[in-house]
Amino acid sequence: MLGWGSLMDIGHIVLVDSLFLLGVICLGCWFWVWRKAEARLLEQRFEALAVQQERLERLVEKVTAACHGGSLRLEPQANKQVEGVVSRTVLKRPVALSQQSRPYTQVQNVEQRYARARSLLGAGIDSGEVARNLALGIAEVEALRRVLKHESKAASR
């Protein structure tokens, strides 16, 4: 037969086991709620990323359409108009001390410089050297080089 002492021991064991199980259940519930919150946060991040990706895709489509749509290409008549504007433009830029002795401010000199730049580029002189010698910008000389390259391709067709 069991005495009061052994019943008290069983009661303590049941109580301790119950508290342990309650603690495990509480810990499991906390973990489940935490995972739900993390999943919700991750889903929000994915949605924001999807929105940003859609915006980027629309922007890429616009840029691609602008590049391939002809808005950046000039027709031959437009090229002549642009060359006329460039040839009539007097370019004002700082000139190095070694180049101050030869000022290029007249329209005729500008046209002569472009013609000379074309001939030097045709001879294979480096763009930087042509720009320094003729007091032109490197971008201008590179543009002239590309025009010459395009003209040579067009002539060979």
pLDDT in tens, 100-121: 444 445 555 777 888 888 899 8
Q: Both 151 and 80 in a single domain?
A: yes
Distance CA 49, CA 31 (A): 27
Are residues 130 and 120 in contact, defined by beta-carbon separation less than 8 angstroms? yes
Amino acid at 49: L
The number of angstroms, rounded, from the C-alpha of 17 to the middle of its chain's C-alpha atoms is: 63
Domain containing residue 49: 1-73
Q: Both 115 and 85 in a single domain?
A: yes
Q: Both 19 and 65 in a single domain?
A: yes
Q: Both 12 and 69 in a single domain?
A: yes
Q: Both 17 and 81 in a single domain?
A: no
Number of domain units in the chain:
2
- Write phi, then psi, for 10 (nearest 5 degrees): -65, -40
Distance CA 136, CA 115 (A): 12
Are residues 141 and 131 in contact, defined by beta-carbon separation less than 8 angstroms? yes
Question: Could you list the mean pLDDT of each consecutive 10-residue stretch along the chain, which spans 157 residues?
Answer: 70 93 97 96 95 92 78 48 47 45 55 86 88 86 88 79
